[in-house]
């Protein structure tokens, strides 16, 4: 069976370093950190008091106040990013078959803030069960996909994907597979996350997963640095309009790039820690290369999972050297989480967008906040420390790994007609 080609024809994104694609990309290549003291709530009593928040986001600039109140912040971000992507792709109910346009959307956690607020409200009461009628539909993570479809009238495949921090990458892979098999012409796919709240911060703090560098938040996310001490929580949303190639050509769409392939594996090892030898990470990159029909030496850039945790960074580097051999030393490697923080279920899509822009512009964004070499990491590898590098990027690979041992990887390449 001849699989159909899948291209990207629209992009929308909201991130801690830019509320649109141009600002996001400009700040990425200029090495801007999105980390600062938390403003969404009083974090003064927490071990970590900073995060990578989206700045200046007001949902009422994009929807009326009544509609905004019915949506958790993660769904607000999802809806706005999807509006951007749909407008960018130039699609509407008039120029596409809405029965063949789907939405496959991801979140690692969903409406945690809504859940927290409702439970606290109940606990403060007299025990009478009074809950907001929108509590459940605001909280459930599939509601973002549903809201996007209702907003735009898209009636194709519609569901949510959750695999912790690999969620939106798995969502992209699922969307690509549906289009390849002819089940849809277009699918909006991506993810959103907004859990910078007491419950989110406290939960991750209790796991000792996050940096506590409160004296200097801007430099706290430092993947591959000897003194890294945990990830920095971020929030974001990103949406890709994925389209069957011939369909895109017929409607005269602009094409950003082609999705070459993807892979998914499990570590089958530990609840939160990666396999120490990078076994799952190695297997997922090999699976993605096989799916794309590409050789390791055809990859020019890897946007790593690179969370700035002591165990995770080393395991991923080990996997890269195993998969790519001598070619590993010709690659550019970088972790854009050094700037955006770790946006959990939305990390995959915003990092895929970084890869797409890298392929288009032939620039690799840096890994910022590098101060001290880690003697356990191969010094011959090019981690693109502190400054963006210009080079030809014909193909880029994006890694995302999640709690539970979920691994997902997607490869994007330059569009060739």
- Backbone φ and ψ for 171, nearest 5 degrees, come out as -65, -40
Let me know: does 397 contact 333? Beta carbons within 8 Å. no
User: Residue 52's closest CA among 22, 73, 32, 25?
Assistant: 32
Residues near 45 by beta carbon (within 8 Å), at least 6 away in sequence = none
Residue whose tokens read 């288009």:
360
Let me know: does 289 contact 261? Beta carbons within 8 Å. yes
- What is d(CA 64, CA 272) in angstroms, rounded to the nearest whole number? 40
Query: Catalytic site residue 257?
Result: no
Q: Can you spell out the DSSP letters for 296-307? A: GGG--EEE----
Dihedral sign of CA atoms 378, 370, 30, 240 in order: positive
CA distances from 137 to 70, 75, 140, 172, 243 (A): 8, 10, 6, 24, 29
Q: Partners of 231 in the beta sheet?
A: 210
Let me know: does 332 contact 300? Beta carbons within 8 Å. yes
Residues near 254 by beta carbon (within 8 Å), at least 6 away in sequence = 9, 90
Q: Partners of 409 in the beta sheet?
A: 263, 399
Q: If you count DSSP H runs as helices and E runs as strands, how many of each does the chain have, helices first?
A: 13, 14
Catalytic residue among 52, 165, 257, 343: 165
Dihedral sign of CA atoms 381, 330, 358, 318 in order: negative
- Backbone φ and ψ for 237, nearest 5 degrees, come out as -145, 145
Residues assigned a catalytic role: 165
């Amino acid at each position: 069976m001849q699989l159909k080609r899948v291209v990207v024809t629209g992009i929308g994104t909201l991130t801690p370093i830019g509320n649109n694609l141009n600002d996001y990309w400009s700040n990425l290549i200029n090495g801007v950190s999105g980390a600062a003291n938390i403003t969404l709530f009083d974090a003064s009593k927490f071990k970590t008091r900073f995060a990578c928040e989206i700045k200046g986001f007001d949902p009422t600039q994009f929807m009326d106040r009544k509609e905004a109140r019915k949506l958790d912040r993660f769904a607000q971000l999802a809806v706005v990013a999807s509006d951007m992507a749909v407008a960018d792709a130039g699609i509407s109910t008039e120029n596409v078959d809405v029965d063949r346009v789907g939405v496959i959307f991801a979140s690692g956690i969903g409406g945690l803030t809504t859940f927290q607020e409702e439970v606290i409200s109940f606990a403060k009461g007299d025990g009478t069960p009074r809950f907001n009628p929108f509590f459940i539909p605001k909280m459930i993570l599939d509601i973002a996909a549903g809201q996007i479809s209702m907003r735009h009238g898209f009636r194709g495949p519609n569901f949510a994907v959750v695999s912790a921090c690999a969620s939106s990458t798995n969502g992209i892979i699922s969307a690509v597979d549906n289009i390849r098999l002819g089940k849809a012409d277009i699918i909006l796919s991506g993810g959103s996350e907004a859990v910078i709240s007491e419950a989110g911060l406290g939960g991750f703090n209790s796991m000792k997963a996050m940096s506590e560098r409160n004296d200097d938040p801007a430099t706290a996310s430092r993947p591959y640095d000897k003194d890294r001490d945990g990830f920095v929580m971020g929030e974001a949303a990103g949406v890709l309009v994925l389209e069957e190639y011939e369909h895109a050509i017929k409607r005269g769409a602009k094409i950003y790039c082609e999705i070459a392939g993807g892979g998914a594996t499990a570590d089958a090892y530990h609840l939160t820690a990666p396999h120490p030898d990078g076994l799952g990470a190695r297997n997922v990159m090999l699976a993605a290369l096989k799916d794309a029909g590409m050789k390791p030496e055809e990859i020019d850039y890897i946007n790593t999972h690179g969370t700035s945790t002591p165990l995770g960074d080393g395991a991923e580097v080990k996997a890269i050297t195993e998969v790519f051999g001598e070619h590993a030393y010709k690659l550019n490697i970088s972790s854009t989480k050094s700037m955006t923080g770790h946006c959990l279920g939305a990390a995959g899509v915003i990092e895929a967008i970084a890869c797409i822009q890298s392929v288009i512009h032939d620039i690799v964004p840096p890994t910022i906040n590098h101060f001290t070499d880690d003697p356990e990491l191969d010094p011959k590898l090019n981690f693109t420390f502190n400054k963006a590098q210009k080079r030809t990027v014909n193909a880029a690979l994006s890694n995302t790994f999640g709690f539970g041992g979920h691994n997902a990887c997607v490869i994007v390449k330059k569009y060739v007609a």
